[in-house]
Amino acid sequence: MAQLNFGGVVENVVTRAEYPLTKALETLKDETIAVIGYGVQGPGQSLNLRDNGFNVIVGQRKNSKSWDKAVADGWVEGKTLFDIEEACAKATIIQYLLSDAGQISMWDTVKKHLTPGKALYFSHGFGITYKERTGIIPPADIDVILIAPKGSGTSLRRLFLEGRGLNSSFAIHQDATGRAYDRVISLGIGVGSGYLFETTFQREVYSDLTGERGTLMGAIQGIFAAQYQVLRENGHTPSEAFNETIEELTQSLMPLVGENGMDWMYANCSTTAQRGALDWWKKFRDASLPVFKELYAEVACGNEAQRSIDSNSQPNYREKLNQELKELRDSEMWQAGVTVRSLRPERSK
């Protein structure tokens, strides 16, 4: 394990250079990895593991769209694709990648197969951190580990196919076998991580829930909507408002920020843009800071987790969700986006 120094803050990290794929394969050569769930993270992680040469199977509910997707991705019923319970029985490592609500509902089924020496793997700290609310309490004689890619399963797969990696956090909640570290790092390398940085289940879920509600999704949508509305109210067309609010950010600026940092972006834009950005960023920070503090407090006390559990366990959850998503989809801003995206020039082949 290497250490990185971030301005005096030292973090433990693992790279593929110091823990190569060959070592990961050797570590898990006698293991059977069952990826339970084929929704957000399941496809990317299982396909990357398979392509990297690990012994991996998929467990999914039969007669579901996800089952059909797994078949389309090359998983073979009775050989590498099984119902959830059969996959759990065959596995030495169970990657529990159902949704948080799905993990709660399937826990009694999965728990039966957590025999001594097995490993239970998560990509989200929710179930363990909020165990009083979820009821997910693993037996003491298994390893409980976490690899959390910092992005969607789609991005994990896309970057893997491009020969790159998506950074992931790792955590060990329970080391019953003495092999939890090698197991978790091997799996992190296997699923296609860029580098692995150390965390805990609690820190992972606190940061993840804050990020999803904040700059990753909730806050950014709110900022988009506010700026778009102000531009439209002042006579700008939908195309102009969308391009200035979203298209320029996502297609031009953010890729460069990702490559070089915001400081580089500031240094390489016009002097007018520099002046405005430097004058206004602290105002936006100060305006949003109380909201982020409230958000983090709600995450830490468990209120956000409970709201998620209560909402996602309702029988009409999917119907209500689709209504809320339709409101976003049908808004003028995102309808403008459909048109703008359709006019992007195709890359030359």
Catalytic residue (one of 113, 124, 173, 236): 124
SS (H, E, C) the chain: CEEEEECCEEEEEEECCCCCHHHHHHHCCCCCEEEECCCCCHHHHHHHHHHCCCCEEEECCCCCHHHHHHHHCCCCECCCEECHHHHHHHCCEEEECCCHHHHHHHHHHHHCCCCCCCEEEECCCHHHHCHHHHCCCCCCCCEEEEEEECCCHHHHHHHHHCCCCEEEEEEEEECCCCCHHHHHHHHHHHCCEEEEEECCHHHHHHHHHHHHHCCCCHHHHHHHHHHHHHHHHCCCCHHHHHHHHHHHHHHHHHHHHHHHCHHHHHHCCCHHHHHHHHHHHHHHHHHHHHHHHHHHHHHHCCHHHHHHHHHHCCCCHHHHHHHHHHHHHHCHHHHHHHHHHHCCCCCCC
User: Does the annotation count 124 as an active-site position?
Assistant: yes
Enzyme catalytic residues: 124
